[in-house]
Structure 1
Amino acid sequence: MARGFIYSIISAICLGSLAIFAKTGLAMGMAPMQIVQYRFFFGALLLLSWIGATQPHLLRIRPKGLLKAAVLGAGIYPVQSWLFIKALQHLPASTTSLIYYLYPVVTTLIAVIFTGLKPNKTIYQSLLLILAGCGLVFYNAFTQAVDIRGIWFILACMVTFSIYLTLVQRFTKNDEAQRVSIWVIFFMAAAVSCISPPTTILSQPLKGWGIAIGLGLIPTAVAISLLYRAIEKIGSAYAAMFSTVEPVTTVLLATLILDEPMDIIQLAGMVLIITGIIMPNLGLIREKTIVSAK
């Protein structure tokens, strides 16, 4: 249990660093698609190498699963990643991350409309908390007169990611999700490399190489591999609950590294969002504990 907890926390912290790396790359003059390309080119290289050396069975996938990974990795995920980086061009990293966490609401609405999901009382309470938290973040963003283009980009990113999660759930069963997710990264790297060739890294200074490799290593290869290990040790419910460290990490790193201000309204919004994400997971954990005890 303790090892799984540690894996989850470290994975979430690594994912939370994505916006910081991206913001630094943008400040250096990197194009949004270059940042996306560097992340997934180096991420796929490192992740596939690591999985191949430690858990090679996860690389074996049925042709049907490979086709699903190609659809997700070459079709949907590039759009989501590009929109996230574009949002960072116009918004602070902390605001981008917190608005992005509106995706549980949209994912639930999609499930209600298209899959017949019937939310219970806990889910409704959770969604209201997330909406309230995002409302505070929106209010805080507009009082700071942020660029409205950034709001539209991150909202589009969040909706795209919600669609991606819905498709992943419909496409995969059991451990196939892990296998498909690994190959999604590969197809993502292949797709963006056709748009922005990996050779552009050769023109980057040493700091640019550090950002590029950091993007592939920390919020991609390390984060994903540790998340799989966490799920293996403690299950998806616990892993999801501990992943709420991610937006906290982004906000704190943005304050410490990028000197972005953090006021009480933004902090209150962050607390509401995190509480809303944790609530349904606590319910799942209680149900799991009761079933295990029988």
Structure 2
Amino acid sequence: MKKGMILSIISAICFGLVPLFTKIVLSMNYDVIAIGFFRFLGLGIFSACMIKIKKVPLKLDVSILPSIALDSFFQVLTLILLSTSYLFIPTGNATSLHFMYPIFVFLILYFYYKNHFSKVQWIALILSILGILFFIDFGNMNNGIGMLIAIVSGLTYAIYMVILDKQGLAALNPFVLAFYACIMEVIVLGIIGIASGSFSVTVNGLTIVSLIALSALSIGGTLLLQVGTRLIGSGMASLFCLFEPLTSLFCGWFLLKDPILVTNILGCILIFAGIFLIMKPKKRRR
């Protein structure tokens, strides 16, 4: 249990660092399709190397390939939707709305899979979502289309996490799962990128370093999330993933000198309170 929590938190921290390097690469005229392509390409190459080194068999039951394809589809769709929402509303607001996805994870598990959650888990979810709301600048929420797209990106990511958990994908070797998923994702993004001219970009030292960093963070975030989901389930993992916006907030303040508002601090307190409830050991009955 504790191992799954820790791995999910580290995964969230890795993903929380992604926006920092994404901003650098975007400033070099790369778009989200190109960035996603290179992120998944790096993850796929790393997974292939680890499979070779560890001599892990690549053979999979053919019946599970549709689930991997479906999960890959929702991961790519999330990437495209979230990035599209940036065109309509501020990035911070879009990201905050996207991080409403734990609600969708809980609702899918509760209504579709008939999972039951304890009162503590529901309270933790409510506290965490209230915390996310404190990150939203409602003064800049004047575009309904952008808000809707950002929220839908949270729904598609929730579906990705639930499929990972409920279709048995998290039980697979993480390197093998990442390898097959990345093949599908790179092909799809490659086709979209060629059609849209996303690869007509310049390359320099800073871009290469940033792309390598993005790939490394994607490697850590994706693989650790898979193992964490296997150990504690998608519902619990989705709550610990809320360390991602906290990491982004801290990095923006520490490295980019972005201001931290009082509402941000209140949001952090609520999220930490929710996570603390989940992590707090239960008292044994005498």
- TM-score, structure 1 as length reference: 0.77
Query: In structure 1, what is the Cα distance between the partners aligned to 2:68 and 2:173?
Result: 10
Query: In structure 2, what is the Cα distance between the partners aligned to 1:82 and 1:33?
Result: 8
1:194 maps to what in 2? 191
What whole-Å deviation, never above 9, does each CA across 1:157-202 have from its counterpart, x for those lacking one? 1111012222223311672373435422332122211211499276
Query: In structure 2, what is the Cα distance between the partners aligned to 1:119 and 1:7?
Result: 21
The change in CA–CA distance for 1:89 and 1:20 in structure 2 (over 3 A counts) is: farther
Query: In structure 2, what is the Cα distance between the partners aligned to 1:135 and 1:116?
Result: 27
Post-superposition offset of 1:148: 6.1
Post-superposition offset of 1:107: 1.0
- The unaligned stretches of length 5 or more in structure 1 are none
Task: After TM superposition, list the pairs within 5 Å mapping 1:67-82 onto structure 2.
Answer: 67-73=66-72, 75-82=73-80
Query: In structure 2, what is the Cα distance between the partners aligned to 1:149 and 1:79?
Result: 17
Q: Counterpart of 1:180 in structure 2: which amino acid? A: L
Q: Counterpart of 2:267 in structure 1: which amino acid? A: G
Query: RMSD of the alignment, in Å?
Result: 3.6
Contact between 2:85 and 2:149, CA under 8 Å: does it hold in 1? yes
1:23 maps to what in 2? 23
1:171 maps to what in 2? 167
Query: In structure 2, what is the Cα distance between the partners aligned to 1:131 and 1:43?
Result: 30
The change in CA–CA distance for 1:268 and 1:52 in structure 2 (over 3 A counts) is: farther
1:14 maps to what in 2? 14
Q: Counterpart of 2:185 in structure 1: which amino acid? A: M
1:209 maps to what in 2? 208
Which of residues 270, 278, 283 is equivalent to 2:268?
270
2:139 maps to what in 1? 143
Post-superposition offset of 1:81: 1.2
Query: In structure 2, what is the Cα distance between the partners aligned to 1:19 and 1:146?
Result: 23
Post-superposition offset of 1:37: 1.3
- The unaligned stretches of length 5 or more in structure 2 are none
1:124 maps to what in 2? 122
The change in CA–CA distance for 1:48 and 1:199 in structure 2 (over 3 A counts) is: farther
Contact between 1:4 and 1:229, CA under 8 Å: does it hold in 2? yes
1:32 maps to what in 2? 32
Task: After TM superposition, list the pairs within 5 Å mapping 1:203-282 onto structure 2.
Answer: 203-218=202-217, 220-226=218-224, 235-236=231-232, 240=237, 244-279=242-277, 281-282=278-279
Query: In structure 1, what is the Cα distance between the partners aligned to 2:18 and 2:88?
Result: 16
Post-superposition offset of 1:252: 1.0
Q: Counterpart of 1:22 in structure 2: which amino acid? A: T
- Aligned positions, number: 278
Contact between 2:21 and 2:210, CA under 8 Å: does it hold in 1? yes
- TM-score, structure 2 as length reference: 0.79
The change in CA–CA distance for 1:146 and 1:34 in structure 2 (over 3 A counts) is: farther
Contact between 2:82 and 2:153, CA under 8 Å: does it hold in 1? yes
Whether 1:158 aligns to 2:146 is: no
More helix by share: 1
Whether 1:63 aligns to 2:46 is: no
Query: In structure 1, what is the Cα distance between the partners aligned to 2:151 and 2:90?
Result: 14
Query: In structure 1, what is the Cα distance between the partners aligned to 2:108 and 2:232?
Result: 21
